Structure 1
Amino acid sequence: MTLPLRSVAALAALSVAAMTLIGCSPETEAAPSPTVTATPTPTPTPTPTPTPTPTTGASPLRGTEVPLADITGPALAAKIDNHWDARPQWGLERTDIVYEELVEGGITRYVAVWFSDVPKEIGPIRSIRPMDPEIVGPLGGIIAFSGGKARFVQMIRDTDLHTSIHGGADDRFMYRSTAKRAPHNVVVRARELRAEYKKIDPPKQQFAYSEDAASSSAGTDGSKTKGLDIEFSYQSHRAWRWNADAGKYLRWQDGNKDRDAGGTQLRATNVVTLTVEVEYGTVPRTRLVGKGKGTVSTDGRTIRVSWSKKNRDAPIRLRDSDGAEVTLAPGNTWVELVPERGSVDIVR
């Protein structure tokens, strides 16, 4: 059937209108994607680094670095005979510190101290003297001797040291050697005696020490010297000479090499001289509580120092010309307590 033109026009208009409506419809927007918030990565808790436990420390009487396990037990001091008939002595080559003092007749005796290297036996030991409490008071530990006047023995018993006397409770640790004649032949079984009193505390440090000889006070500020000549009395002369090959001072007594029982010449890393007041009498007494002048020789060099000691149990303090504390080189030390009437000559 043929539509009239009017109907065709109407249909065309409807089609255009429909298309227009479709073209003008609003667009449908896509729903926004949800925002994803990043979860922060947790900061890891740092694992603490443990502080290393020290395994070494400075030996109190030498300043050398040693295992901490070796810094235990008491120092052992002994009154060592230096009469001509007592030489050569046993164990002096292994001492930490030796103090030489004037006694009767213009001769000397030693207060020798062992801690780092205790020999099996030491000696010969002799009787105590009135200055010895001032020497060993700061050390604590054990003091071994053969006897003495009652008042001198009481003076040493008044210290904090354990007194080990020949003929006393510790006599089982002593005997008379047949190698020498009495009274110059009392020997101490040093290791056994020290082991008996191993629970006694180690000694306190007696001197200040540097890291090495070159950085010690004498090594840094001292004058280059060959050694020392020392006079205790008209019949007691000592000499120390620097030996670069050994890195030590070698010792002479009365013009002869001073040797131990094994034949080795005695030697020291540090030689300290203190000029001291001596009260002369039947028994000379060195006055160590006080102050005075002295020298320190280390590494082939020598400086002049001042020394002081406040009381019996205080250590000796060494100061340089600027008032700074003097440091010694790590190693063994000999301390010469030279009377004011004696002399100390620096050999250049």
Structure 2
Amino acid sequence: MTQAGRVAAVGTSRGTRRRGRTGRATWTAAVLAAALTASLTAGCSSGGERDDGRSPSGTASGERTPPAAGGVLAVKIDNARKARPHTGLDAADIVYVEQVEGGLSRLLAVYATHLPETVGPVRSARESDLELLRQFHRPTLAFSGAQSKLLPLVDEAPLRAEPPGRTREAYFRGNDRPAPHNLYLRPDRLLPATPGPRALTTTGFRHGPAPAGGSPETSRTVRFPAASFTFTWSAHRDGWLVAMDGTDARTTDGQRLAPATVVVQHVHIRTSDFHDSNGNVTPYIETVGSGRAEVLRDGKSYDAHWKRDVATDGTRFTTGDGTPLNFADGQVWVVFVKA
């Protein structure tokens, strides 16, 4: 059975999770096999990023830091074409869509109310992630590595960094796709339990009834220089069906991704001090500040204003008259686009 088949068998989708964990024994055997594969398979990242299973400090001690009480799990997820379909993305409470080098995209998935058995593929962190995650209390960041010059900043950030070298049993490499697009995370090896919805209250997001007004919206496309995302309203799913680069976005078990709320947040994107091996500069996404946004929910689009005063604050979304703008219950996608 391929790695994709294994992760589908353990039930990473919401519907499969309700059927319980009858395949646990099979999963354990598959994990052991995958762990052996991981010890023999090395994946390399571009641009001087380290994807070698070492901790940010450069030590591979394997020591496990005790989890912070109530902290969310944030996972940096690969979004190259070879990395799809994703595993466990439908279980995230929030998915942030970020532009990276060459106009491509990566995802940062945040988990608080449910921990799927597998998440991935996992890739490297970016400087923008550190500012974005300051809104959470001592989050855990799972990532494959980072550029060597960025690692000291990761060490200094108020988060629990968990690359493969720090808690080795939390990661394995699959056999169904080439490295570096085949690194997967077992979340329960990092967090003993879900932190719960209270861990998300720092985001500033509000959930509740839809505001008055809004414009009917059936589809919205957001374009990066080398990537695109289309969100199409589905009354049947009560959510926005996601397409990436013109292809339906599905999980490894075949489920369409369909967040209840999509936020298109216009932000300042500047160049950072980092670049990849081809000389492409890494964009820095400024999530502290203010600007305009569009909030998609219930088949409508609402013009909004966003504001985040400091990094330790969440982001507040309001309508034109300053009324807080409620999101629909369910998964939220936030797509950062250049203002």
Same fold per superposition (TM over 0.5): yes
> What's 1:176 paired with?
173
Q: Residues 178 and 139 (structure 1 numbering): CA distance in 2 closer, same or farther, change over 3 Å?
A: same
SS where residue 311 of structure 2 aligns?
Answer: coil
Q: TM-score, normalised by structure 2?
A: 0.73
> What's 1:153 paired with?
151
| Conserved 8 A contact 1:74-1:203 | no
> What are the residue-to-residue correspondences of 1:185-264 with 2, within 5 Å?
185-195=182-192, 202-211=199-208, 215-217=209-211, 220-233=212-225, 235-264=226-255
> What's 1:76 paired with?
73
Distance across 2 between alignment mates of 1:92 and 1:245: 20
| Conserved 8 A contact 1:138-1:204 | no
Shift of 1:73: 4.0
Kindly tell me the number of residue pairs found equivalent between the two proteins.
261
SS where residue 203 of structure 2 aligns?
Answer: coil
Residue type of the alignment partner of 1:333: V
Residue type of the alignment partner of 1:298: R
Q: TM-score, normalised by structure 1?
A: 0.71
> What's 1:87 paired with?
84
| Conserved 8 A contact 2:287-2:308 | yes
Structure 1 moving runs of 4+ over 4 Å:
196-199
Distance across 2 between alignment mates of 1:253 and 1:210: 26
User: Are 2:123 and 1:126 aligned?
Assistant: yes
Distance across 2 between alignment mates of 1:260 and 1:133: 27
| Conserved 8 A contact 1:132-1:156 | no
Distance across 2 between alignment mates of 1:153 and 1:203: 26
Shift of 1:155: 2.5
Distance across 1 between alignment mates of 2:193 and 2:219: 40
Shift of 1:196: 8.2
Distance across 2 between alignment mates of 1:154 and 1:307: 31
Distance across 1 between alignment mates of 2:202 and 2:265: 19
Distance across 2 between alignment mates of 1:198 and 1:247: 26
Q: Residues 157 and 222 (structure 1 numbering): CA distance in 2 closer, same or farther, change over 3 Å?
A: farther
CA RMSD of aligned residues (A): 2.0
Shift of 1:321: 0.5
| Conserved 8 A contact 1:208-1:325 | no
SS where residue 245 of structure 1 aligns?
Answer: coil
Residue type of the alignment partner of 1:325: P
Distance across 1 between alignment mates of 2:308 and 2:79: 26
Shift of 1:272: 0.4
Residue type of the alignment partner of 2:302: I
Shift of 1:286: 1.0
Gaps of 5+ in 1: 1-71, 341-348
| Conserved 8 A contact 1:309-1:315 | yes
Specify the structure having the higher radius of gyration (Cα). Answer: 1
> What's 1:139 paired with?
136
> What's 2:293 paired with?
294
| Conserved 8 A contact 2:205-2:315 | no
